[in-house]
Amino acid sequence: MSGRLAGQTALVTGGAIRVGRAIVERLAAEGAQVGFTYLSSAETAAELVQTLRKAGVRSRAVRCDQREPTQIRDAVADITGRLGPVDLLVNSAAVFRRTPLSEATVEEWDHHLDTNLRGPWLFMQAVGPSMKERGTGAIVNLLDVAAERPYPGYLPYCASKAGLECLTRGVARVLAPEVRVNGIAIGTVLWPEEYPDAARENTVARTPLARVGTPEDVAAAVAYLAAEASFVTGAILTLDGGRRLV
């Protein structure tokens, strides 16, 4: 396929549903062959692979629980064995659960940190050195504006994203100049299912662009950082419709 990412292999974590799926579809449209991981969406993942293959895109879906280091290593080995060395890594998979300070358990803390911070670290560790050795590559980590403005009821999640923001900048220094590493700090893109209508209306009213984002907005930003931003590394692109200004 032709496109800005023609001939490249992308690996997207959490690529079967929601924002991750939009990223997979956009990278495929840009010409990349795409491997992606999923946790519990096996049927949706298989459907997406078939859709991509019918469009002429080589694709591979692998189940991976990011809390398990061996599953991360196996997923990378599987995808590279089928599609070749990874040129673009997108760390999209994450867990987001309400964890009030007085109620949160150690298990919930570990679940967030292992999935949202250690998992991306292990994926970067698995593919980054190979990218550097080959002399080219890009990594995009999905972050959250809550790393700087924490959500009171979701502090383990916020802490995990703050840690990933730090890692993004640090790994950018380690892998330069061959590999670019950037992040996207996302605001409201998809509503939590339990989010009240009044709160949704308030969020939109306080957003200068007068809407929430879409998965396609995030996917477009990923494509920009992957294909166009040749002099950008260690940067955090804020994608929040201007909410940080309010």
What is the extent of the structural domain holding 27? 9-245
Q: Which of 38, 154, 157, 224 is catalytic?
A: 157
In a domain, 190, yes or no: yes
Q: How many domains does the chain have?
A: 1
User: What confidence tens digit (pLDDT) does each residue in 94-142 have?
Assistant: 999 999 999 999 999 999 999 999 999 999 999 999 999 999 999 999 9
In a domain, 139, yes or no: yes
User: What confidence tens digit (pLDDT) does each residue in 177-221 have?
Assistant: 999 999 999 998 988 777 788 889 988 999 999 999 999 999 999
3-state helix, strand, coil in the chain (%, to 5): 50, 15, 35
Q: What is the pLDDT confidence band of residue 1, given thresholds at 50, 70 and 90?
A: low
In a domain, 63, yes or no: yes
In a domain, 111, yes or no: yes
Annotated active-site residue 157? The verdict is: yes
User: What confidence tens digit (pLDDT) does each residue in 199-210 have?
Assistant: 899 889 999 999
What is the reported pLDDT for 192?
Answer: 73
> pTM score, two decimals?
0.96
In a domain, 4, yes or no: no
CATH (domain of 144): 3.40.50.720
In a domain, 1, yes or no: no
Q: Residue 34: what are its φ and ψ, rounded to 5°?
A: -130, 125
In a domain, 72, yes or no: yes
H or E, element range at 60: strand 59-63
